[in-house]
Structure 1
Amino acid sequence: MGRGRRHRGTSKRNQIEKSKENVQRPLKSDASFDSNFQKPISSNLDFEEYYKEQRIVKAKEWDSFMEILRKPLPAAFRVNSNGQFCDDLRLKLENDFMESLQAEAVESGESEAIKPLPWYPKNLAWHSNFSRKEIRKNQTLERFHEFLKLETEVGNMTRQESVSMVPPLFLDVHPDHFVLDMCAAPGSKTFQLLEIIHESSEPGSLPNGMVVANDVDYKRCNLLIHQTKRTCTTNLMVTNNEGQHFPNCKTKEASDTNHQSIDQLLFDRVLCDVPCSGDGTLRKAPDIWRRWNSGSGNGLHSLQVVLAMRGLSVLKVGGRMIYSTCSMNPIEDEAVVAEILRRCGCSVELVDVSHKLPELIRRPGLKKWKVHDRGGWYRSYKDVPKSQRDGVLKSMFPSGKSDKESTGGGDRYGDMTSISSDESAEEVCDLPLERCMRILPHDQNTGGFFIAVLHKVSPLPEFQEKINQRRNFSTRKNINSCEAVSGTVVTKPEEGAEEDTILEEVVSENGFEHPENDNISEVGIVELAQKLDDMGVRREVPAMQGKWKGLYPVVFLRDETVINGIKTFYGIKDESFPLYGHLVTRNSDISSHGNVKRIYYVSKAVKDVLELNFSVGKPLKISSVGLKMFEKQSAKECEANCCSFRITSEGLPVILPYMTKQILYATMADFKNLLQQKSIKFLDFIHPQIGEKAAELALGSCVMVLVDDTQLGSEPVKVNSSTIAIGCWKGKASLTVMVTTLDCHQLIQRLSDRSKEVENAENCFKTAETD
């Protein structure tokens, strides 16, 4: 087994080394090195020369541009619009922290400590004038730091770079849309897309749409699963496929038109946020100063084109795709968009969204640029020596033409580009690239970002699909990973999540386990990665080979005894909340005796995609699907009941409106008391009737719902999205909470804040009456 692992690891390293050879290495500047490596480097002469030559900003702005790049990036965060305490958190930011942090802001020379991003809807996204490091280290900011940390961990907020929040806002997502996030890890944009789908759907109902979040690296899929788990959604599927080869799930014959299933997986919206050199994140990742070179962007250009073309291939006619990068390099930005438009002809158009989000400062895309290589600067492809043309491609230039094409009689897309007869003149692209968006750091104190909105008007040309297939095959040979292509490890470090926080239980829970008879490894992939980290070795885990190695398949739960037991125990009516056909599990969750450990609930849209995937040979490698709704309990009390499955905390908000049994209603006093004590005997409830009701419940899992004092005794109470409830375990003489200590602490804090607001309102009312 050990020899097998070494062989696979060596093979992967060899493939990565080969991919590095395809990237031209420019001369290194003296500014890229520092004898004292602990001193942060914030300059690179190659970087400055490159972007001055590309003229991404005017000469008079250059000093401001460079000055802001050398400053730490301010922290930004977003309130979950679907969170139960969305309004509470927004009010706390507006009425508490904006005032309490102001003194610290003045001391730092800033006019405001925190403020809502003016272009983000409903004051849900916020910008802080403190960097993440300052928030962590400054003692006067400790309360604010603890607030951010707690609310992020429980899923009420997401720390996310402000420019990273932009692409989903231009995607125009509706609740019935099928959305593909092609390169999704670490997952904050996926989280945002799910918020939009749920926020715009009917209250109390599951959206008809779904999000497929894909990433090529199954280790980063763990991070993606961990991030999106906090959304508590049944409308998500996480897949582990190469984006440029995303499967074409299509049956040979169309199904009948009863709208009960789908015969092809196409998407209404596609987010193609591609791997890039990432120099737009210099303020957050200053190590990029040291390792930046123009070869990184050149080496990624081809991959970015094929990723975008694959996204357009699986996009429905009439659909919209966002192409975005966190790079300022036109070779990764405008050049890729221009090549997309050339390949697609009139079937795809670049959308003008300059009227959307008017308070977001953005600049139009470039119309001209040059290409840099170790051989120097090139204005046109015809100037590139033949020896350099493996690394410098004609698609990198504004015209996208070779010398022969540029002097010939036009091209098949019409006279869309022009080249001056003067060989020393720069090419100027006549495609409408000004419709692209460039977000520059010094405009609104952000990172750098590039966005293009594409609309699919008609099917792609048939010949283009064949070309795509050949190019995809070529790309597969040269690119082993979206993460390591150019000699620079390419990441998407936008969201502020730490990969090292992903725990083993997150991995195993979602099916990332090695089958018992698999000879790849004696230890799990996460344990191996952690050992390598402890040894100070770069994480190079052997690549999994084969369809299901290291990943357990999803299976539908067909056991009617289990399903009927759940329905009976919790009083769920199938017509209002169908279980059969919507419950799935991993075969890793099925014991040798056939018993199921964990059960996930999927929406109708996800159910249809699962069935399609099964019918066409399972080309989608599914890392996670649906929402964990039920978990097996081995307590002795379960033996006396027809149901041994408890409702999980993440599944409770979805299923609670459809439960008619095992519900206990409690007032604020008893609810907070249980959260603080964790377990209370029936006789010790503040309101005796609550203890009596608890004693009448069946042994096992139950739910406690918070109600007003006036509602107590008038059960059942209609629940909605604002209802506060927790999962509990009813024993023979006591009731115990079944939520984590962190969740208990967060809930107590939120309830205390609400009590203070009610008390303040009452005092104000009394004062007004006295006056």
Structure 2
Amino acid sequence: MGGKGRGGRARTQRKHFRESRENVWKRPKPDPNSANDNKDGNGNHWEPFESQSPAFNEYYKEQGIVTAEEWDTFIEVLRKPLPAAFRINSSGQFCGEIRAQLQNDFSRSLQAEVTDGDEAEAIRPLPWYPDNLAWHSNFSRMQLRKNQALESFHEFLKLENEIGNITRQEAVSMVPPLFLDVHPNHYVLDMCAAPGSKTFQLLEIIHQSSKPGDLPDGLVVANDLDVQRCNLLIHQTKRMCTANLIVTNHEAQHFPGCRANTNFFSASTAGNELKPRSTQLTFDRVLCDVPCSGDGTLRKAPDIWRKWNSGMGNGLHGLQVQIGMRGASLLKVGGRMVYSTCSMNPVENEAVVAELLRKSGGSLELVDVSNELPQLVRRPGLKKWKVCDKGVWFASYEQVTESCQSVAIPGMFPSGRGHKSDTHNSQLRGNHPDGGSSVDVSEPTMDPVHVFDEEVCEFPIERCMRIVPHDQNTGAFFVAVLRKVAPLLAATEKTSDQNTKSANDQSRGKLQQTITDADSVDLNATDGMGESSSEVEIDPNNQRDSNSANNNPPCKLPVQDNKDADGLDSTDGMDKPFSEADLEVVDNETTENKLEITAIKNNSEESKQPGDGEMDPKKCNGKRKLQIQGKWRGVDPVVLFKDETVIDCIKTFYGINESFPLIGHLVTRNSDTNHVKRIYYISNSVKDVLELNFSAGQQLKITSIGLKMFERQSSREGSSAPCAFRISSEGLPVLLPYITKQILTMSPVDFKHLLQYKSIKYADFVDAAFGEKASNLMLGCCVIVLGTGNTSSDVIKVDESTIAIGCWKGRASLSVMVTATDCQELLGRLSNRLGNDL
């Protein structure tokens, strides 16, 4: 239906994507003037990166990530490039056709390129992904770019990826959304969403059962810390063409709860009362794909080898716990939360999950998902692990010396406890506030691991899953599924173990390693397939798609003292109780993001709330005035579009059926409503959240919302058209079933010619009757639907197979209003569907 998933090029600023990350797999071109350019002093071929790390080997052997017998196989696979993987858009119009093309055409044609020692199949569906929608390629990205025999397959991947019919994504990165058990009516929060492949996947699931023109009852809120990575996220999800998405820009650990001011609704006029679903923003599902050290991506980012150290994981543990607890506080009782990382480190994985269970006081439980996705090979979570700081190992917190207490905190250990024995503590630590000063131990013992027995986690942590590379030729990943069984209450957070609280207090405010994403955001200038894009040149798949705005691609790991990327204390609040009251938190910790809590006027209508009720400052609990528009620095405001003259003109010109609601569902990003260039459409669920956000004083910093539906005509001829706005390519699939005017069916032959030549005079159409009908349309935007017969028909039937495009009806000719890439893809679809009939 116009190709769901199709849209114009993103408007992301080029400057955000100019700097490419070094391709560490790529060898430099040899210098023709130097015979030894690509060799070292011994005449051996030069290697562009390290493929081993003694520190890595020691750490993970000690942690027992894999058995000693399989260690060599584990390392061997880690040193091989990661095979390419991709996912078919399950809600896309051409999903079935693309799947059949892969199964019947490419599976056979690529088989000759399989070399000895490789897997038996060139491409194959991932056995654990439902409905054969995710595919594993036996070729690395470098092979796809360089092998001429793979050129047609590579071009296919590039084209379909750009259109939005497929998404390049690491196989294990597809796992977390599948365990969320998302339904079309769910409100889903993706806390650390960039670069957006998991968000796209969540949107697919929500839209999967939707019929043409219908919008699901659910939504996805995709959040990211970095505004530039938000742009990348918007670019990725733009291909989905959805009205059920909100993109926000907040620190995940301080994501706003948007508690509504109930007086806001009582101030609304009787005929336009706003009725959100609740008075605070909570979610049925929460995805916490948190910032991590990223050593599970070694096959894709081998530069991690030379930079790896145990401090990378230690420094992120506290932030990961904070994000997890914030996600739990935003989760509805009975809802499901997935915690995931692309790290193999138990300090970032099992230790964080155990700490979430402790802090929740029984409100969270680990879900046993061993029966879900049975063909996915996974390993149970570790019941015991150790903490390492600068080569010194600790089996329990009792072993931690005073100088290491700011790094190795109780929550990192399996038991999560602090001091078990004052006597032991005094003997081991010497001068310590909790007592004992007879022995001053400034250095750890030579073999501290064996001073005390190793701790074992009391929770059923084996219900977590760890995916290792050599089990199914993938990257590494960690996933834990949690269910909220009761509200988070501050009283349940308190522990009876006062020593634990004392130990945590000692760790707070001291030096802790953490990773900043300030200078390691990968904004690559390719399209994800190794080729340049005509409009926005990016490679979202060079991002660590298993990570988020809060995390850093692990190629650059600067360490800063006790601060996260925005200068906030990364240990602050680590043992602070979490409760449902935390939902009132507003993300205003940084000066530049503080709300200006004042009422502002923009034209006559902007002095009112969205419900057209006059704003009464006295009805704001006496604390602050309600904010009508967002004043977040660098982010355009979200303004309800209420110009009934323009809306009525649009409805009349296109004959939009009254069953498709426009009033109350249109927004713009321009506070000057007299000069609006683009109008966005929002679903009922997004509308509810937006109204809730208005009532809460604009706590959400929204960088993108809804679906671009209408655009103002910019051409000279367009200024004289009866309607000033045309239907956008992104919005056409949603609006198509409700259009009754300015719409015609076209024969396949003429449709093909229109795609090929882009513009055809009315007298030149093969079907003369169609040319006459087209010439009689009003000047401006029109919709052309692909017919089934040799002549045009007045009967227009819209279903899942309907192909339609937006066109411009000029004075002398009909011209397409879709991109060259869209035309190319549609021509291919016509050839597949109609074959020799064209």
Q: TM-score, normalised by structure 2?
A: 0.75
Cα distance change, pair 498–79 in 1 and its aligned pair in 2 (3 A): closer
**Given that residues 276 and 492 in structure 1 are in contact (C-alpha distance below 8 angstroms), is that contact kept between their aligned partners in structure 2?**
no
**Given that residues 380 and 426 in structure 1 are in contact (C-alpha distance below 8 angstroms), is that contact kept between their aligned partners in structure 2?**
yes
Give the CA deviation at 1:714: 4.2
Q: 2:644 aligns with which of 550, 560, 571?
A: 560
Q: Which residue of 2 aligns with 1:670?
A: 750
Give the CA deviation at 1:634: 3.0
Q: Which stretch shifts more, 746-755 or 296-305?
A: 746-755
**Given that residues 278 and 492 in structure 1 are in contact (C-alpha distance below 8 angstroms), is that contact kept between their aligned partners in structure 2?**
no
Cα distance change, pair 78–68 in 1 and its aligned pair in 2 (3 A): same
Q: Which residue of 2 aligns with 1:724?
A: 803
Give the CA deviation at 1:200: 3.0
**Given that residues 216 and 481 in structure 1 are in contact (C-alpha distance below 8 angstroms), is that contact kept between their aligned partners in structure 2?**
no
Q: Which residue of 2 aligns with 1:227?
A: 236
Q: Which stretch shifts more, 85-94 or 474-483?
A: 474-483
Cα distance change, pair 663–483 in 1 and its aligned pair in 2 (3 A): farther
- Distance in 2 between residues matched to 1:658 and 1:431, nearest whole Å: 54
SS at match of 1:231: coil
- Distance in 1 between residues matched to 2:122 and 2:107, nearest whole Å: 7
Offset from partner CA, 1:262-312 (integer Å, 9 cap, x none): 311100000000010000000000000011100000000000000000000
**Given that residues 87 and 134 in structure 2 are in contact (C-alpha distance below 8 angstroms), is that contact kept between their aligned partners in structure 1?**
yes
Q: Which residue of 2 aligns with 1:3?
A: none
* Pair 1:545-2:592 in alignment: yes
Give the CA deviation at 1:649: 0.7
Query: For the aligned residues, what is the CA RMSD?
Result: 3.2
Cα distance change, pair 501–90 in 1 and its aligned pair in 2 (3 A): same
Give the CA deviation at 1:173: 0.5
Q: Which residue of 2 aligns with 1:185?
A: 194
Q: Which residue of 1 aligns with 2:295?
A: 279
Give the CA deviation at 1:484: 3.4
Cα distance change, pair 179–503 in 1 and its aligned pair in 2 (3 A): farther
Q: Which residue of 2 aligns with 1:514?
A: none
Map residues 599-638 of structure 1 onto 2, 5 A cutoff.
Answer: 599-638=679-718
Give the CA deviation at 1:360: 0.4
Q: Which stretch shifts more, 231-240 or 606-615?
A: 606-615
Q: 1:458 aligns with which of 467, 473, 486?
A: 486
- Distance in 1 between residues matched to 2:511 and 2:92, nearest whole Å: 44
Cα distance change, pair 499–455 in 1 and its aligned pair in 2 (3 A): farther
Give the CA deviation at 1:356: 0.5
**Given that residues 262 and 609 in structure 1 are in contact (C-alpha distance below 8 angstroms), is that contact kept between their aligned partners in structure 2?**
no
- AA partner of residue 49 (structure 1): E
- Distance in 1 between residues matched to 2:315 and 2:798, nearest whole Å: 54
Q: Which residue of 1 aligns with 2:664?
A: 581
Q: Which residue of 2 aligns with 1:250?
A: 259
* Pair 1:740-2:819 in alignment: yes
SS at match of 1:75: strand
Q: Which residue of 2 aligns with 1:447?
A: 475
Offset from partner CA, 1:480-538 (integer Å, 9 cap, x none): 997439xx958899x9959998999899xxxxxxxxxxxxxxxxxxxxxxxxxxxxxxx
Q: 2:59 aligns with which of 29, 50, 56?
A: 50
- Distance in 2 between residues matched to 1:459 and 1:405, nearest whole Å: 33
* Pair 1:355-2:360 in alignment: no
Offset from partner CA, 1:414-472 (integer Å, 9 cap, x none): xxxxxxx98432101120000001000000000000000000000012247899xxx99
Cα distance change, pair 231–406 in 1 and its aligned pair in 2 (3 A): farther
Q: Which residue of 2 aligns with 1:518?
A: none
- Distance in 1 between residues matched to 2:239 and 2:200, nearest whole Å: 8
Cα distance change, pair 48–506 in 1 and its aligned pair in 2 (3 A): closer
- AA partner of residue 361 (structure 1): V
Q: Which residue of 2 aligns with 1:705?
A: 785
**Given that residues 750 and 767 in structure 2 are in contact (C-alpha distance below 8 angstroms), is that contact kept between their aligned partners in structure 1?**
yes
**Given that residues 194 and 233 in structure 2 are in contact (C-alpha distance below 8 angstroms), is that contact kept between their aligned partners in structure 1?**
yes
Q: Which runs of 5+ in 1 are unaligned?
A: 1-34, 409-420, 508-539, 760-771
Give the CA deviation at 1:251: 1.7
- AA partner of residue 484 (structure 1): D
- Distance in 2 between residues matched to 1:406 and 1:690, nearest whole Å: 91
**Given that residues 277 and 490 in structure 1 are in contact (C-alpha distance below 8 angstroms), is that contact kept between their aligned partners in structure 2?**
no
Q: Which stretch shifts more, 498-507 or 316-325?
A: 498-507
Q: Which residue of 2 aligns with 1:412?
A: none
**Given that residues 483 and 491 in structure 1 are in contact (C-alpha distance below 8 angstroms), is that contact kept between their aligned partners in structure 2?**
no
Q: Which residue of 2 aligns with 1:484?
A: 517
**Given that residues 222 and 506 in structure 1 are in contact (C-alpha distance below 8 angstroms), is that contact kept between their aligned partners in structure 2?**
no
**Given that residues 713 and 719 in structure 2 are in contact (C-alpha distance below 8 angstroms), is that contact kept between their aligned partners in structure 1?**
no
Give the CA deviation at 1:717: 1.5
Cα distance change, pair 697–226 in 1 and its aligned pair in 2 (3 A): same
Give the CA deviation at 1:138: 1.0
SS at match of 1:309: helix
Offset from partner CA, 1:153-211 (integer Å, 9 cap, x none): 01010000000001111101011100000000000000000000000345541001100
- Distance in 2 between residues matched to 1:502 and 1:692, nearest whole Å: 38
User: Where is the helix percentage greater, Structure 1 or Structure 2?
Assistant: 1
Map residues 382-531 of structure 1 onto 2, 5 A cutoff.
Answer: 382-404=398-420, 423-463=451-491, 483-484=516-517, 489=520, 497=528
Give the CA deviation at 1:38: 5.7
SS at match of 2:832: helix
- Distance in 2 between residues matched to 1:652 and 1:675, nearest whole Å: 17
- AA partner of residue 647 (structure 2): I
- Distance in 2 between residues matched to 1:466 and 1:651, nearest whole Å: 51
- Distance in 2 between residues matched to 1:406 and 1:119, nearest whole Å: 51
SS at match of 2:336: strand
SS at match of 2:127: coil
Q: Which residue of 2 aligns with 1:534?
A: none
Cα distance change, pair 386–666 in 1 and its aligned pair in 2 (3 A): same
Give the CA deviation at 1:627: 0.5
- Distance in 2 between residues matched to 1:620 and 1:500, nearest whole Å: 36
SS at match of 2:243: coil
Cα distance change, pair 499–151 in 1 and its aligned pair in 2 (3 A): closer
Cα distance change, pair 373–36 in 1 and its aligned pair in 2 (3 A): farther
**Given that residues 161 and 496 in structure 1 are in contact (C-alpha distance below 8 angstroms), is that contact kept between their aligned partners in structure 2?**
no
Q: Which residue of 2 aligns with 1:414?
A: none
Give the CA deviation at 1:41: 1.1
Cα distance change, pair 502–623 in 1 and its aligned pair in 2 (3 A): farther
Cα distance change, pair 466–434 in 1 and its aligned pair in 2 (3 A): closer
Offset from partner CA, 1:378-436 (integer Å, 9 cap, x none): 0000100011101111100000001248999xxxxxxxxxxxx9843210112000000
- Distance in 2 between residues matched to 1:317 and 1:392, nearest whole Å: 33
Q: Which runs of 5+ in 2 are unaligned?
A: 1-43, 267-272, 425-448, 496-503, 539-564, 568-589, 595-631
Q: 1:88 aligns with which of 82, 97, 102?
A: 97
Give the CA deviation at 1:746: 1.1
Cα distance change, pair 193–111 in 1 and its aligned pair in 2 (3 A): same
Cα distance change, pair 236–480 in 1 and its aligned pair in 2 (3 A): farther
* Percent identity between the two aligned chains: 62
Offset from partner CA, 1:618-675 (integer Å, 9 cap, x none): 1110000000111001334444444110111111101011101110110110001000
Q: Which residue of 2 aligns with 1:153?
A: 162
Give the CA deviation at 1:39: 2.4
* Pair 1:369-2:369 in alignment: no
How many residue pairs are counted as aligned between the two chains?
670
